[in-house]
Amino acid sequence: MTIKVLIVDDSAVMREVMQQMLAPYADIEVIGAAFDPLLAMQRMQQQWPDVLVLDIEMPRMDGLTFLRQIMASRPTPVVICSSLTSQGAAMTQQALAAGAVEVIGKPSVGLRDFLHGSGKQFVASIRAAAKARLAPTLTKAAPDVASLAVPARHALPVPSSERLVLMGASTGGTQALEYVLRQLPASAAPVLIVQHMPEGFTGSFAERLNGLAAIEVREAQHGDSLRSGLALIAPGGRHMLLKHDAGRYWVEIKDGPLVSRHRPSVDMLFRSAALLGGRNVLAVLMTGMGNDGARGLLALHEAGASTVAQDEHSCVVFGMPKEAIKLGAADQVLGLDEIAAQLLAWA
């Protein structure tokens, strides 16, 4: 089946380069490219796309407003292509919360080189979006954060015997992580998260979650100690590893090659934890395309960790968890409600 794609971006260069990038792939057809959302809607009335590639900052109507209109009238998989600026990153988080399934960052200079160098990732994002389930069932609302205790922002580092939570996600993960983290109390066990996201966007994502959750959520920095009530998100473009010495857990943030086609990689985090022994670890592999995290979850399972894969019904893309289940890496296969309950019990 051919994936029909419509590109909406006010940059003529961007529209041209993206069409060139997609042209060699027989399973993808660009059915049009529009300067702004108003022109895009005219085209969509003639032929509706399977995937919409959408810029955020455009004339006449911004991409966020257009996205919300689309999701309210006819939900469609949307890949956001946003500038690597603080404003662009903040608006991108709103777009993901509004229903966009993927995000690709674009620099203000070196556009052609960047896009050609990121061609495989762009194509993978289109394919992942085409498979997305846009309305995974969430049967329980997240709690009112105001009713929860204030996070213990200055708690002591976690002793090596205390429990830890590791989470990995890709396509659809931003909404799934928000749903789960909002249900954790301020005293929850420390959480380490790898969410596939370009460099420049994870800080804004962490800020958004920090404003919604009772726990503290922030982008990880090299050397950060783990403690109760704290969730650290791997920075885009860098790997995050779990380390232990002097009776404390801490994180190493490092450069390096792509692992399982990603940086940060879930496999890198999970395997680093498996090397330390997994009995104190609850690891959760969530929605996303591909197989990143599957072998890492298996390593944790073999090291004695409690391992969970998100079920197909609640996944936006049932790729990464499916691969882990096939390997026999998951002790349990759970929906988002059940994952949240599992984390509460573990915490």
With bands split at pLDDT 50, 70 and 90, how would you rate the model's confidence at 333? very high
With bands split at pLDDT 50, 70 and 90, how would you rate the model's confidence at 115? low
Phi-psi region of 304 (alpha: psi -120 to 50; beta: other; left: phi over 0): left
Rg of the chain over CA atoms, in angstroms?
20
Phi-psi region of 216 (alpha: psi -120 to 50; beta: other; left: phi over 0): beta
With bands split at pLDDT 50, 70 and 90, how would you rate the model's confidence at 259? very high
What are the domain boundaries of the chain? 3-130, 145-346
The H or E element that residue 4 is part of is strand 3-8
Output the six-digit token pair for 261.
């086609």
What does the DSSP assignment read for 115-161? HHHTHHHHHHHHHHHHT--S-----SPPP-GGGSPPP-TTPPPPBTT
CATH class of 3-130: alpha beta
Determine the residue type at 76. Answer: T
Strand extents, DSSP E, 49-113: 51-55, 78-83, 102-106
Query: For position 204, what pLDDT does the model report?
Result: 93
CB 194 within 8 A of CB 220: no
CA 258 to mean position of chain CA atoms: 16
Q: At what angle do helices 173-181 and 202-212 cross, to 10 degrees?
A: 30
Candidates 82, 83, 125, 170; catalytic one: 170
Residues 246-265 have a mean pLDDT of 94
Candidates 239, 292, 306, 314; catalytic one: 292
Output the six-digit token pair for 220.
């990880």
Question: Which overall architecture, per CATH, does domain 145-346 show?
Answer: 3-Layer(aba) Sandwich (3.40)
pTM of the predicted model over 0.85? yes
Quick one: 346 exposed, middle or buried, by C-beta within 10 A (0-12, 13-18, 19+)?
Answer: middle
Residues 241-263 have a mean pLDDT of 94
The CB density around residue 66, as the number of other CB atoms within 10 Å, is 24
With bands split at pLDDT 50, 70 and 90, how would you rate the model's confidence at 79? very high
CA distance 209 to 68: 20
Q: Based on the residue annotation, tell me whether 116 is a catalytic residue of this protein.
A: no
| DSSP letter (8 states) at residue 313 | G
Q: CA nearest 237: which of 222, 255, 260?
A: 255
Q: Based on the residue annotation, tell me whether 10 is a catalytic residue of this protein.
A: no
Candidates 196, 239, 262, 301; catalytic one: 196
Q: Based on the residue annotation, tell me whether 170 is a catalytic residue of this protein.
A: yes
| DSSP letter (8 states) at residue 319 | S
CA distance 142 to 176: 11
Helices and strands (H and E) in the chain: how many: 12, 14
pLDDT in tens, 14-43: 899 899 889 999 999 999 999 999 999 999
